[in-house]
């Protein structure tokens, strides 16, 4: 199942109230929506990059970005916490 996540640019919308491309305003900051498939509930987005094989992140969920406005190819997520 495809889900939408958001990359927070850290730019405060009040300081720079213009949106470009697929940017959206959420919680007072500019964010870029992107889509990944098969990410379990409870997983948290960490970062995005073009390399799916970074050392030190073997425990992460690494998913191709399949849609949205983020230019990176892969998103790294934490594993969901087990109850």
pLDDT tens-digit series, residues 35-64: 999 999 999 999 999 999 999 998 999 999
Whether residue 27 lies inside any domain: the answer is yes
- For 24-35, write each residue's pLDDT tens digit: 999 999 999 999
Whether residue 64 lies inside any domain: the answer is yes
The pLDDT value given to residue 60: 95
Whether residue 83 lies inside any domain: the answer is no
Q: Which residue has the higher pLDDT, 81 or 58?
A: 58
- Radius of gyration of the chain, Cα coordinates, nearest whole angstrom: 14
Judge whether residue 83 has pLDDT over 90.
no
Whether residue 47 lies inside any domain: the answer is yes
Domain limits for position 7: 2-77
**Residue in 51, 47, 46 with CA at minimum distance from that of residue 73:** 51
CA angle 38, 45, 16 (to 5 degrees): 125
Whether residue 31 lies inside any domain: the answer is yes
Percent of the chain surpassing pLDDT 70: 99
Whether residue 82 lies inside any domain: the answer is no
Tokens of 52: 């799916």
Q: pTM (2 decimals)?
A: 0.90
Number of domains in the chain: 1
């Amino acid at each position: 199942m495809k889900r939408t996540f958001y990359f927070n640019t850290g730019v405060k919308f009040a300081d720079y109230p213009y949106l470009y491309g697929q940017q959206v305003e959420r919680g007072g900051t500019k964010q870029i929506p992107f889509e990944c498939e098969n990410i379990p509930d409870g997983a948290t987005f960490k970062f995005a990059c073009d390399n799916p094989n970074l050392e030190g992140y073997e425990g992460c969920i690494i998913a191709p970005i399949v849609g949205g406005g983020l230019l990176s190819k892969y998103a790294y997520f934490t594993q969901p916490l087990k109850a």
